[in-house]
Amino acid sequence: MKKILVPIDFSKQAEYAAQVAAKIAKKTNSELHLLHALELPNSIIDPSSFGNADNSPATLLYMKKAQEKFEILTKRYFLKDIKISKSVIFHSAYDGIINESKEQGADLIVMGSQGVSGLEEMLVGSNTEKIVRHSDIPVLVVKNEIEDFELNNIVFASDFNEKDKSTFKKVVSFANIFEAKIHLLKVNTAYDFEPTVTSKSKIDFYLEDSEIKEHSINIYNDLYVEKGILNFARSIKSDLIALNTHGRKGLSNIFNGSVSEDISNHAVQPVVTFKIEE
C-alpha cells in the first residue's frame, strides 16, 4: 500500500476517517492524500456569469476557506510525521472521489459516514453508497472516533459464492498487512438456511491456496443476515467488518431485506468493502 485517499468535508466524521487513515499510513508507510470536493452553485461555476470559473471571486473565496481549514486539519496531532498531499477540486463529491482515486493511483479510500441506522444504512448514504458500489479499490467507512485504531480481528462476512473467491485474496492481503486474524463468517437465517456441512465446504474452498496467516471458521444463526454479522462481530470484539460488494448491486450479495430497527445504531466498527471482480 502506497497511497490512501481521504475525502474531507471538514465534518467530525471526516476527521475520524483521517485519524484512522493516519494509523494505517504509519503502519504501511503510505502517503495520505486529502481531498476536498467543492460542489459550487451553478451561478458561480457558470462561465457565462463569471468568465473563468477557476478565478472568479466567489470561487477564490471558497478555495481560500478550504485551504484555511486544511491548514488547521493538517496540524492535528495524529497527522504528525506522515507524508501528506492535498487537493481541492470543483466537482461533485462522488465523481471527484472516484476520479481522484484513479488519478492518484490510490490503494485505499478511507471516508467518514454519518449513518445511524445499522450496518446497511451506514453504507447507503448518497455519496458513500455510490463510492462503495463503484470504487475499484477497497473503501473503508468510519463512523465513530477511534483513538487508537488497531487491526487484530477482522470479520469477513460472505455467502462464499464460488465465483467470488478471487476477491477473497484482496481481503487476505489487507489483513496480512496488519497481521490480523480473519474470522470467516457465514450467517444462516430461517429464510436462507444452509446445512453446516455445505457452508463449511464453501469456506474451505475459499481457504484453498490462500496466504491467510490466522483464521477461524464461523457458521452463525440469527434472524437476519445483518443482525448476525453485527452480533457476531460484537461477540468477538472485532476491529473491522469486511464485505464483498457487486458494483451496481451494492451489498445485495450480503444483505437480504432491510435492516431491522432493533439493531439501529449498533454498527460501531469500521467497515471495509472489496469490489467483486465481474
Q: pLDDT digit string (tens) for 87-104? A: 888 777 778 888 999 999
Helices 196-207 & 165-177, crossing angle to 10 degrees?
70
Do residues 74 and 163 share a domain?
no
> Residue 265, by phi and psi: left (phi above 0), alpha (psi -120 to 50) or beta?
left
CA dihedral (202, 204, 208, 213) positive or negative: positive
As a 3-state breakdown, the chain gives helix, strand, coil percent values, each rounded to 5, of 40, 20, 35
Instruction: For residues 81 and 157, state if they share a domain.
Output: no
183 Rama sector, left if φ>0, alpha if ψ -120 to 50, beta otherwise:
beta
Counted domains in the chain: 2
Q: Does residue 264 sit in the same domain as residue 157?
A: yes
Has residue 135 been placed in a domain? no
Domain boundary among 61, 85, 112: 112
Q: Round to whole Å and give the CA distance between 141 and 156.
A: 15
Identify whether residues 106 and 167 lie together within a single domain: no
Domain of 86? 3-112
pLDDT tens string 120-156: 555 555 677 778 878 899 999 898 888 889 999 999 9
68 — pLDDT class (breaks 50, 70, 90): confident
